[in-house]
Amino acid sequence: MSPLGKYYVGAGIVAVLAILLPLPSLLTWLVVIVALGAPVAGYFMLDESQRARLRRVRRRGIGR
């Protein structure tokens, strides 16, 4: 499994646990939004050349 895939699985597990645990609903959704939204927001804050470089680095790391 790629390192990026491990992050996806980890974020999914955190989201499922946050939903299943008997926490107040507002806190549960806040955890889900932060766990899934922060990386997405960070990616979209990059400019186009930085995104292209990140895609190249990911592709190059797949064959190793």
How far is 11 from 45, CA to CA, in rounded Å?
Answer: 20
Q: What pLDDT score does 61 carry?
A: 65
Q: 57 and 3 in contact (C-beta within 8 Å)?
A: no
The whole domain housing 8 covers 3-62
**Do the beta carbons of residue 15 and residue 36 sit within 8 Å?**
yes
In the chain, the number of structural domains is: 1
Evaluate whether 10 touches 31 at the Cβ level (below 8 Å). Answer: no
Q: What's the sign of the alpha-carbon dihedral 14, 19, 20, 25? A: positive
Instruction: Give the model's pLDDT for residue 26.
Output: 77
pLDDT at 47: 92
The pTM is what?
0.47
Per-residue pLDDT of the chain (64 residues; tens, 9 = 90+): 677 788 888 888 877 877 777 666 777 778 778 888 888 888 889 999 998 998 888 776 665 5
